[in-house]
């Protein structure tokens, strides 16, 4: 092992064989679940099982081959976990389609989701082919920030903006509808990471000390106040509690990681609490959402809390090991294929499968944070942290809303739930994480003992020392 590699203790094995083995297991999960749906609902193996399995395998193995050639040192766990989640989600959506077909309501959400998955994998491949070094994205810090703002404002424009079930977060262009906030999430991570790399030193300076916590200086509160106002604007004008929580939480996590100052968490928590209280007393739709969350059964007869109450009934009916595909009634819950797909999984596959799904999301977040730890540049560290945190926050608010821990937010479960915008954006997120991990795991150039001619990357690694961002 080269001297610089030994110094940092990095593992430089490519591990593509391990990735391929895990992908086979992931395909067994996806295709097996699809077959189990056919057997459980129609008492026969689906007639299109071979074609479906071949298409799914072609997509996943194709992505694996591209990684072998353009990102050979990338993390070997991310793609298999995502493939398993996506395959399981397709099977559950197909199950709900069959249930509604039996009631005379014909939908092809599973077929549409497979189309969106295909487009997501294509963009995944394009991202890996076009972005050969994640550090070039730092050049587009302010461009990405501007793009994120424009995307968030698009649903408010007359003509193309659409209000769907109370939230104005969609745009429609001809026959296509799209949720621009999903793309804005990625743009925002890049913009915040680039900004924090440039201004970290100023933001890390301590101000007044209160109860053993060094609060930030008043003059440095500008960025967090701007992000707070943006989040409140999303909540007020778009009526989207989920995106408001996601964007503000994402910025706060990245700010804390960059500065290592707990004071920012204190300021962020106070701003969040104040904003939530202000929104509750000033805006009726926010107050209604909180009242339904606190007393769901009081609004059941009127239909306002039908979704969360039926979701809880379904989770209780599923128990520990579930009723099995075809033996539950997940279609009783509106949007069982999208917002409440976790309730569908819990009803027919049980708490055990639901915990397994949450553990897979935990693996994605863990691999993202591991990538951030070993990354050799501050920008890559923050981007990996931000992307992993975005997935973690999204899963938390969705699972919290389904189980009653927090109010319902309207976000979709990454890779599992029906939704083209979310699925495509999250496949791009995985591509960026793989690109950063490939750069981080690559062996450093060999240097001689007498010259110690470290490359730029090696010098930055030594400067990073214990894993900080300085």
Task: Compute φ and ψ for 391, nearest 5 degrees.
Answer: -65, -45
Q: Which secondary structure element, helix H or strand E, spans residue 286, and what is its range?
A: helix 284-294
Please state which of the ranges 113-117, 176-180, 250-254 shows the lowest mean pLDDT. Answer: 176-180
pLDDT value of residue 62: 96
pLDDT band at 218 (very low <50, low <70, confident <90, very high): low
Mean pLDDT of 263-275: 83
* Euclidean distance between CA atoms 77 and 404, whole angstroms: 31
Distance (Å) of CA 390 to CA 212, 277, 324? 30, 24, 32
Cite the DSSP H helix spans in 319-455.
Answer: 341-374, 378-403, 420-441
Mean pLDDT of 14-31: 93
Task: Report the candidate in 464, 343, 348, 318 with the shortest Cα–Cα distance to residue 399.
Answer: 343
pLDDT value of residue 3: 39
Answer whether residue 51 shows pLDDT above 80.
yes
pLDDT band at 380 (very low <50, low <70, confident <90, very high): very high
Report pLDDT digits (tens) over 275-327: 888 888 877 777 888 888 888 888 887 778 888 899 999 999 999 998 889 88
Q: Which residue has the tokens 């499968």?
A: 353
pLDDT value of residue 272: 84
Nearest-Å Rg of the Cα atoms of the chain is 23
Mean pLDDT of 25-30: 95
Distance (Å) of CA 232 to CA 159, 163, 196, 237, 401? 24, 18, 22, 8, 19
Answer whether residue 404 shows pLDDT above 90.
no
Mean pLDDT of 108-131: 95
Answer whether residue 10 shows pLDDT above 50.
no
What's the whole-number average pLDDT of the chain? 84
pLDDT value of residue 164: 66
Torsion sign, CA atoms 57, 58, 60, 66: positive
Mean pLDDT of 324-350: 89
pLDDT value of residue 203: 72
Neighbours of 152 (CB within 10 A): 25
- For residues 224 and 418, the answer to whether their CB atoms sit within 8 Å is no
pLDDT band at 217 (very low <50, low <70, confident <90, very high): low
3-state SS, residue 335: coil
Mean pLDDT of 210-222: 59
Task: Report the candidate in 125, 10, 69, 71 with the shortest Cα–Cα distance to residue 375.
Answer: 10
User: Judging by beta carbons within 10 Å of its beta carbon (0-12, 13-18, 19+), is residue 281 exposed, middle or buried?
Assistant: exposed
User: Judging by beta carbons within 10 Å of its beta carbon (0-12, 13-18, 19+), is residue 85 exposed, middle or buried?
Assistant: buried
pLDDT value of residue 370: 95
**CA trace torsion 332, 335, 339, 345 (10° rounding):** 40
Q: Which secondary structure element, helix H or strand E, spans residue 98, and what is its range?
A: helix 78-102
pLDDT value of residue 461: 38
pLDDT value of residue 343: 92
- For residues 469 and 381, the answer to whether their CB atoms sit within 8 Å is yes
Please state which of the ranges 74-83, 133-142, 243-252, 276-285 shows the lowest mean pLDDT. Answer: 276-285
Report pLDDT digits (tens) over 69-101: 999 999 999 999 999 999 999 999 999 999 888
Mean pLDDT of 113-137: 95
Helices (H) and strands (E) in the chain, counts: 16, 5
Report pLDDT digits (tens) over 446-457: 554 444 433 444
pLDDT band at 391 (very low <50, low <70, confident <90, very high): very high
pLDDT band at 199 (very low <50, low <70, confident <90, very high): confident
Percent of the chain whose predicted confidence (pLDDT) is above 70: 87
Buried b / exposed e over 316-330, threshold 16 CB at 10 Å, is ebbeeebbebbebbb
Task: Report the candidate in 302, 308, 298 with the shortest Cα–Cα distance to residue 335.
Answer: 308
Query: In this predicted model, which residue has the larger pLDDT, 39 or 104?
Result: 39
* Euclidean distance between CA atoms 85 and 422, whole angstroms: 14
Answer whether residue 204 shows pLDDT above 70.
no
| DSSP symbol at 243 | H
Torsion sign, CA atoms 345, 349, 351, 354: negative
């Amino acid at each position: 092992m080269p001297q610089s590699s030994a110094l940092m203790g990095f593992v430089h094995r490519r591990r593509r064989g391990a990735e391929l083995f895990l992908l086979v297991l992931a395909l067994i999960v996806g295709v097996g679940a699809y077959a189990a749906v056919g057997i459980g609902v129609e008492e026969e193996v689906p007639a299109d099982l071979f074609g479906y399995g071949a298409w799914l395998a072609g997509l996943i193995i194709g992505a694996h081959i591209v990684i072998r050639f353009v990102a050979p040192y990338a993390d070997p766990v991310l793609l298999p976990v995502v493939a398993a989640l996506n395959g399981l989600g397709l099977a559950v959506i197909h199950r709900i389609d069959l249930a509604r077909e039996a009631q005379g309501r014909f939908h092809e959400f599973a077929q549409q989701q497979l189309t969106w998955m295909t487009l997501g994998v294509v963009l995944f491949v394009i991202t890996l082919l076009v972005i050969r070094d994640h550090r070039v994205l730092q050049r587009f810090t302010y461009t990405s920030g501007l793009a994120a703002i424009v995307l968030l404002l698009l649903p408010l424009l007359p003509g193309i903006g659409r209000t769907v079930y109370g939230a104005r977060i969609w745009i429609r262009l001809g026959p296509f509808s799209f949720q621009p906030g999903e793309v804005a999430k990625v743009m925002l991570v890049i913009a915040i990471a680039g900004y924090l790399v440039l201004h970290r030193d100023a933001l890390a300076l301590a101000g007044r000390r209160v109860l053993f916590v060094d609060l930030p200086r008043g003059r440095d509160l500008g960025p967090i106040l701007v992000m707070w106002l943006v989040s409140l604007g999303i909540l007020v004008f778009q009526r989207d509690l989920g995106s408001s929580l996601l964007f503000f939480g994402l910025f706060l996590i990245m700010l804390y990681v960059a500065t290592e100052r707990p004071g920012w968490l204190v300021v962020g928590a106070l701003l969040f609490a104040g904003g939530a209280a202000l929104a509750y007393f000033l805006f009726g739709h926010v107050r209604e959402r909180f009242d339904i969350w606190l007393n769901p059964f009081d609004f059941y007869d009127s239909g306002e809390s039908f979704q969360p109450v039926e979701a809880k009934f379904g989770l209780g009916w599923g128990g520990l090991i579930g009723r099995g595909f075809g033996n539950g009634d997940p279609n009783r819950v509106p949007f069982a294929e999208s917002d409440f797909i976790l309730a569908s999984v819990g009803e027919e596959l049980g708490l055990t499968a639901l915990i397994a799904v949450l553990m897979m999301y935990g693996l994605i977040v863990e691999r993202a944070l591991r990538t951030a730890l070993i990354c050799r540049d501050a920008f890559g560290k923050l981007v990996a942290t931000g992307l992993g945190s975005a997935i973690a926050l999204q899963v938390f608010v969705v699972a919290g809303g389904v189980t009653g821990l927090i109010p319902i937010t309207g976000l979709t479960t990454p890779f599992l739930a029906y939704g083209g915008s979310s699925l495509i954006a999250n496949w791009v997120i995985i591509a960026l994480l793989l690109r950063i991990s490939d750069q981080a795991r690559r062996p450093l150039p060999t240097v001689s003992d007498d010259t110690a001619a470290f490359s730029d990357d090696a010098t930055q690694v030594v400067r990073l020392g214990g894993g900080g961002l300085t």
